[in-house]
Amino acid sequence: MFETRAGIFLIAGFGFFILAFIVMAWVPIAIYQGEPELSVKELAEQGLTHEFIDLAERYPKQFKEHYGDVSEESFAAALKLGHKIYVGEACWHCHSQQIRPVSNEGRRWGGESYAEEYQNEFQRPVLFGTRRVGPDLIREGGRKSNDWHIAHFYKPTSVVPVSVMPRYPWFFDSDGYPNKKGFAIITYVQWLGSWHKNYPYWYNRGPALPTKTPEPPPGFEPTVDDEKPKTGVAMSDAETNAGA
Amino acid sequence: MAKATAIAAGNAGTGRIVDTDRPLVDEKLVLCFFIASLSYVLIAMLAGLLFSLQFLQIYPFANSEFFSPGRWRFVHTQGVAYGFIANAFLGALHWAVPRLTGNRVLSDKLSWFILFAWQAIVLATVVGVLSGEAQALEWGETPVWIDPVAQLGLILVAINFLTPILKVKGPMYVTLWYLIAAFIWTPLVYAMGNFLPEYVIGGSAAGAIGGLFIHDLVGLFVTPIGWGLMYYFVPIILKKPIWSHGLSLVGFWGLAFFYPLNGIHHFLYSPIPMFLQYGAVISTIAVELVVTTVIVNFFGTLVGRGDALRTNLSIRWFYIGMVFYFTTCLQCAFQVTLTFQKVIHFTDWVVGHAHLVMFGVFGFWILGMMTHLLPRLMKARDWYCNRWNHWHFWLSGIGLFVMFIDLMIAGLIQGFAWRDLAPWEDSLTFSTPFWKLRTLTGIAIVVGQCFFLMNVYMTWKHMRGAASTTPMPTPTGGGEPAIA
């Protein structure tokens, strides 16, 4: 058996592989098969994020151009494209989406990962990640403002001087406003973790469609600026400051 | 050339009459695979080097979408796995399998088709990932529309090689055990990893499958072919049989049983059921014990021929690779424990480990095989310049070893900084000196490969220029029939 063709072909080749597959893959599949897996549409139906609505209000012209109205459909479309960018730009090679119950990770990022939150279409294939150059992102939504993300995607060192994250100028149009990709990736990143009932601290998903402007978080003082920004305020300022 | 005489010995006992008009081995094909492999190694390593500049905030093409650093990281890993290693293995297999079995591969035309089809697949992968079409599967970032083609290619490769192997009557040499298993495992692993988590299973269970894929691609594709070729080349170059047949058996069956069970150790402390994580940890430690038997076997073979380490560069590549293999597996047995995982998971430690395995072990073995075979394939008397080959060896060896140590220390520093809740930016500041050194070691490795590529080119040019008609002297043992 140990040196024959049949033994190697059937036992080592197929046998051991199938055995390992049953033990190591089929068992978790069987364990989690009762968990419903949410589609993007179902995720969008859980309610829009404040940040998505904020993007639409802040950049009405550009938003209208790329995504039309604020709706579950446009939210789903933005999430979907955002996820594609997250995968295609290899964000997941430097950012994990998994908080372990050790090494104070729960304290740093708020709550350890659990099986249910991976039961959705965006976790095909799962985005646990194996390397953290930048921080974990599965609780990132709502942690930073849209402005922060816009500046950060355009030029990470403008907000985090030691950052080694690449620049993504192709998320912005020639005027410096976020383009379709920019809206998408910010929507996706700001959505991560928004399924938590009490996270981040003030976060509550609004009704499915906003009937009025969502409540700002307590203590948040919006800067009133009636004048429409002329050209890419956040980015060009950041550029100028960095250059100076 | 390896013709009927070689066949008679290699195919002892079958009594088959073999067509002697065509050589058993299509040497031009082997050469083409090696050239393809060397082209990709340069591209892949330059991609890695380029990516490393991002960590120093001096990335030269920061505003170019096409040169987005993350996408070039895909090129780095995909280029190494499917361009460098797969091509080199295909070449070496086309050299070794016919000699070991006495049979030609199923079809020479199929082999040439595979050569071109595989380059098309790898190039399409590079274009795909550079245009942002990657699949979110580590080591399997090949865009989803290439996966079925690559799958078909792997099945064709398996059929092409399994046909001559399964025709062998009587006992089979160790290499063939590994190869049979590898040709079954590889298509299965590829199918499991690329299709199940994308189309069938989502969530944490898909994480388990992703872990199996990451691990099995190394463990069930690269490792068995790599060891199989070592069992072929080492005894031939040393001109002596493997030390212990019993240990060969233990090594093969131990690997076959324990290796496929390891995958989940890539996602410890994840929502994958804990008892499976324990199982993966234990079987990983078991692999280390199995690996020890294989290493003992090969060093037992070396006893009495230790001078070959000095005199034969291929043997030196092979055995330093084995030392690194043992290091890797020993490291693995520790780092896989939950205690180590608390600190080192997600850090550069893992990156160092991956470089040690893929380049330090399998890359070194491949370069050793090429050092041995390329002059023969180019019909050259010897290398154009043996000194350059030594530069290649030492730059690669020292570069890789320093990189490994450097990233290991960086990983520990990052891990402890995170655990101690230091601000995130601190872990970047702390890592910067290590990343600088990493880039330098990367430069050393790339320069080393340039020496080798230059040598290949000059050897080829020299041959063409000389148009020598003198028969080539047989380098040490290279053309002899396989021990069977």
Nearest Cα neighbor of B345 from B402, B283, B400, B268 is B268
Amino acid at A207: P
pLDDT at residue B21, as a whole number: 66
A44-91 per-position pLDDT tens digit: 988 888 899 999 999 999 999 999 999 999 999 999 999 999 999 999
Nearest CA in chain A to B131: A88
The DSSP code sequence of B261-310 is G-GGGGGTTSSS-HHHHHHHHHHHHHHHHHHHHHHHHHHHHHTT-TTHHH
pLDDT at residue B477, as a whole number: 41
Instruction: Give contacts of A 135-164 with B, CB under 8 A.
Output: 135, 157, 160, 162-164
To which residue do tokens 């021929």 refer?
B305
Provide, as residue numbers in chain B, all residues whose Cβ is less than 8 Å from the Cβ of A107. Answer: 421
Nearest Cα neighbor of A169 from B126, B60, B68 is B68
| Interface with B, mutate which of A105, A121, A123, A133 (most B CBs under 10 A) | A133
Q: Do A125 and B74 touch (CB under 8 A)?
A: no
How far is A84 from chain B, CA to nearest CA, in Å?
8
Asked if A112 and A164 count as a contact pair (C-beta separation under 8 A), the reply is no
Is the pLDDT at B5 greater than 60? The verdict is no
Question: Which domains can be identified in chain A, with CATH numbers?
Answer: 39-216+228-243 (1.10.760.10)
Q: Do A107 and B421 touch (CB under 8 A)?
A: yes
To which residue do tokens 């058993």 refer?
B24
Q: Does A211 touch chain B (CB under 8 A)?
A: no
Amino acid at A85: I
pLDDT at residue A239, as a whole number: 43
The verdict on residue B133 lying in a domain is yes
Q: Do B136 and A94 touch (CB under 8 A)?
A: no
How far is B336 from chain A, CA to nearest CA, in Å?
14
The DSSP code sequence of B34-53 is HHHHHHHHHHHHHHHHHHHH
pLDDT over 70 percentage in chain B: 92
pLDDT at residue B275, as a whole number: 95
B369-426 per-position pLDDT tens digit: 999 999 999 998 899 999 999 999 999 999 999 999 999 999 999 999 999 999 999 9
Q: Does A36 touch chain B (CB under 8 A)?
A: no
How far is B164 from chain A, CA to nearest CA, in Å?
12
Q: How many domains does chain B have?
A: 1
Asked if B25 and B432 count as a contact pair (C-beta separation under 8 A), the reply is no
Asked if B380 and B412 count as a contact pair (C-beta separation under 8 A), the reply is no
Provide, as residue numbers in chain A, all residues whose Cβ is less than 8 Å from the Cβ of B171. Answer: 3
Radius of gyration (C-alpha) of chain B in whole angstroms: 22
Element (H, E) at B216: helix B203-216
Selecting from A2, A8, A91 the residue whose C-beta is nearest the C-beta of B181 gives A8
ipTM: 0.89
Asked if B84 and B16 count as a contact pair (C-beta separation under 8 A), the reply is no
Is the pLDDT at B470 greater than 80? The verdict is no
Q: Can you say how many angstroms the Cα of residue B165 is from the centroid of all Cα atoms in its chain?
A: 22
Residue-level length of chain A: 244
How far is A227 from chain B, CA to nearest CA, in Å?
30
Provide, as residue numbers in chain B, all residues whose Cβ is less than 8 Å from the Cβ of A20. Answer: 212, 260-261, 263
Residues B299-305: what's their mean pLDDT?
95
pLDDT at residue B20, as a whole number: 58
Q: Do B134 and A87 touch (CB under 8 A)?
A: yes
Provide, as residue numbers in chain B, all residues whose Cβ is less than 8 Å from the Cβ of A93. Answer: 70, 73, 138
- DSSP state letter for B259: G
Nearest Cα neighbor of B410 from B326, B471, B347, B337 is B347
pLDDT at residue A218, as a whole number: 67
The Cβ of residue A231 has, within 10 Å, a number of other Cβ atoms equal to 10
Asked if A72 and A46 count as a contact pair (C-beta separation under 8 A), the reply is no
pLDDT at residue B313, as a whole number: 96
How far is A103 from chain B, CA to nearest CA, in Å?
5
How far is A224 from chain B, CA to nearest CA, in Å?
32
Q: Does A130 touch chain B (CB under 8 A)?
A: yes
Q: Do B208 and A24 touch (CB under 8 A)?
A: yes
Positive or negative torsion for Cα B315, B319, B321, B322: positive
Selecting from A5, A28, A87 the residue whose C-beta is nearest the C-beta of B276 gives A28
Q: Do A31 and B205 touch (CB under 8 A)?
A: yes
The verdict on residue B43 lying in a domain is yes
Q: Do A98 and B270 touch (CB under 8 A)?
A: yes
Give the CA-trace dihedral at A59, A60, A64, A70, to 10 degrees. 100
Residues 6+ apart with CB under 8 A from A59: A177, A178, A183
Per-residue pLDDT of chain A (244 residues; tens, 9 = 90+): 788 888 999 999 999 999 999 999 999 999 998 888 999 999 998 888 889 999 999 999 999 999 999 999 999 999 999 999 999 999 999 999 999 999 999 888 888 898 988 999 999 899 999 999 999 999 888 888 999 999 999 999 999 999 999 999 999 999 999 999 999 999 999 999 888 766 554 455 544 444 455 566 666 665 555 554 444 444 444 444 444 3
Provide, as residue numbers in chain B, all residues whose Cβ is less than 8 Å from the Cβ of A123. Answer: 202-203, 206
The verdict on residue B61 lying in a domain is yes
Please count the residue pairs, one from chain A and one from chain B, whose beta carbons lie less than 8 angstroms apart: 225
Provide, as residue numbers in chain B, all residues whose Cβ is less than 8 Å from the Cβ of A98. Answer: 267, 270
Is the pLDDT at B469 greater than 60? The verdict is no
The verdict on residue B32 lying in a domain is yes
Taking the C-alpha atoms of residue A21 and residue B220, their distance in angstroms, rounded to an integer, is 13
Instruction: Give contacts of A 164-183 with B, CB under 8 A.
Output: 164, 166-170
The verdict on residue B234 lying in a domain is no
Kindly indicate the confidence band of residue B97, based on its pLDDT and cuts at 50, 70 and 90: very high
Asked if B344 and B350 count as a contact pair (C-beta separation under 8 A), the reply is yes
Selecting from B134, B192, B419 the residue whose C-beta is nearest the C-beta of A21 gives B192
The verdict on residue B15 lying in a domain is no
The verdict on residue B1 lying in a domain is no
Instruction: Give contacts of A 84-103 with B, CB under 8 A.
Output: 84-85, 87-94, 96, 98, 100-103
Provide, as residue numbers in chain B, all residues whose Cβ is less than 8 Å from the Cβ of A11. Answer: 256
The DSSP code sequence of B106-171 is S-HHHHHHHHHHHHHHHHHHHHHHHTT---SSTT--S-TTTHHHHHHHHHHHHHHHHHHHHH--S-
B100-158 per-position pLDDT tens digit: 999 999 999 999 999 999 999 999 999 999 999 999 999 999 999 999 999 999 999 99
Q: Do A3 and B172 touch (CB under 8 A)?
A: yes
How far is B414 from chain A, CA to nearest CA, in Å?
9
Provide, as residue numbers in chain A, all residues whose Cβ is less than 8 Å from the Cβ of B350. Answer: 130-131
Nearest Cα neighbor of B79 from B397, B434, B358, B404 is B358
**CA-based end-to-end distance of chain A:** 75
B47-75 per-position pLDDT tens digit: 999 999 999 999 999 889 999 999 999 99
3-class secondary structure per residue, chain A: CCCCHHHHHHHHHHHHHHHHHHHHHHHHHHHHCCCCCECHHHHHHCCCCHHHHHHHHHCHHHHHHHHCCCCHHHHHHHHHHHHHHHHHCCHHHHCCCCCCCCCCHHHHHCCCCCHHHHCEHHHCCCCCCCECCCCCCCCCCCCCCHHHHHHHHHCHHHCCCCCCCCCCHHHECCCCCECHHHHHHHHHHHHCCCCCCCCCCCCCCCCCCCCCCCCCCCCCCCCCCCCCCCCCHHHHHHHHHHHC
Q: Does A72 touch chain B (CB under 8 A)?
A: no
Q: Can you say how many angstroms the Cα of residue B376 is from the centroid of all Cα atoms in its chain?
A: 22
Q: Does A7 touch chain B (CB under 8 A)?
A: no
Provide, as residue numbers in chain A, all residues whose Cβ is less than 8 Å from the Cβ of B337. Answer: none
Is the pLDDT at B38 greater than 50? The verdict is yes
Provide, as residue numbers in chain A, all residues whose Cβ is less than 8 Å from the Cβ of B138. Answer: 93, 130
Q: Do A8 and B196 touch (CB under 8 A)?
A: no
- What is the residue range of B62's domain? 26-169
Q: Do A5 and B168 touch (CB under 8 A)?
A: yes
Amino acid at A5: R
The verdict on residue B52 lying in a domain is yes
pTM of the model: 0.88
Selecting from A14, A21, A90 the residue whose C-beta is nearest the C-beta of B184 gives A14
- DSSP state letter for B313: H
pLDDT at residue B480, as a whole number: 39
| Interface with B, mutate which of A11, A16, A174 (most B CBs under 10 A) | A16
Nearest Cα neighbor of B70 from B48, B92, B93, B42 is B48
Nearest Cα neighbor of B408 from B343, B322, B468 is B343
